[in-house]
Amino acid sequence: MRLPASDRFLIGIVVGSVLLIIIAVVIVLNRATPAYRTGNEPADVVFNYLLAVQQGDYERAYSFLSPTLPGYPRNVQEMRSQLPPANFSNEDVSFTVISLRIDGDWATVDVRETTVYRSGLFGSNTATSVFTVGLQRRDGIWQLVSNTNWRTWSWCWEQEGGCR
């Protein structure tokens, strides 16, 4: 018994759709998750700080802040409360270090932030911006002293008296 051409065509569409779904699931499940860097250079410290904030690991993020900040948060809980809420449910945010300048015990790292806003099954928008992170080396350790990104830094940390 031979299937009519229209039935074979329909079976082909169904099989093709199932294969596409399987491929999509495999790609999503095998997507690499970002890992912390092991180096102690300014670019590594900035990357690790941003990843810690993005993943909600505020204990680790706090360890990268310089205690010389005029508005240095007293503890991890205070730091967390002073950052904007990390609401990435409708967006994917990635950070890329694009340049590094070192001048003695001071460093400046420029970072590109790429945000993909998801809006439904087939819709999305992308936004890109560049921000700057300042670091100071104290006792051989690079620590953050400034950051122009509102998602990952509180303006009051650079103000005398802080956020109090």
Q: 18-52: per-residue pLDDT in tens?
A: 888 877 666 666 666 778 999 899 999 999 999 99
Which pair of tokens denotes residue 28? Answer: 């999503």
What is the C-alpha to C-alpha distance for residues 160 and 71, in angstroms, rounded to an integer?
6
Q: Quickly list DSSP for 7-53.
A: HHHHHHHHHHHHHHHHHHHHHHHTPPPP------SHHHHHHHHHHHH
pLDDT digits (tens, 9 = 90+) for 93-143: 889 999 999 999 999 999 999 988 877 666 678 899 999 999 999 999 999
What is the H or E stretch that residue 97 is in?
A: strand 91-103
Question: In this model, does residue 88 exceed pLDDT 60?
Answer: no
Q: Over the Cα atoms of the chain, what is R_g?
A: 23
At 8 the pLDDT is 76
Biggest distance spanned by C-alpha atoms of the chain: 85
pTM of the full predicted structure? 0.78
* 124-138: strand order across its sheet: 91-103, 106-118, 124-138, 141-147
- Work out the average pLDDT over 73-101: 86
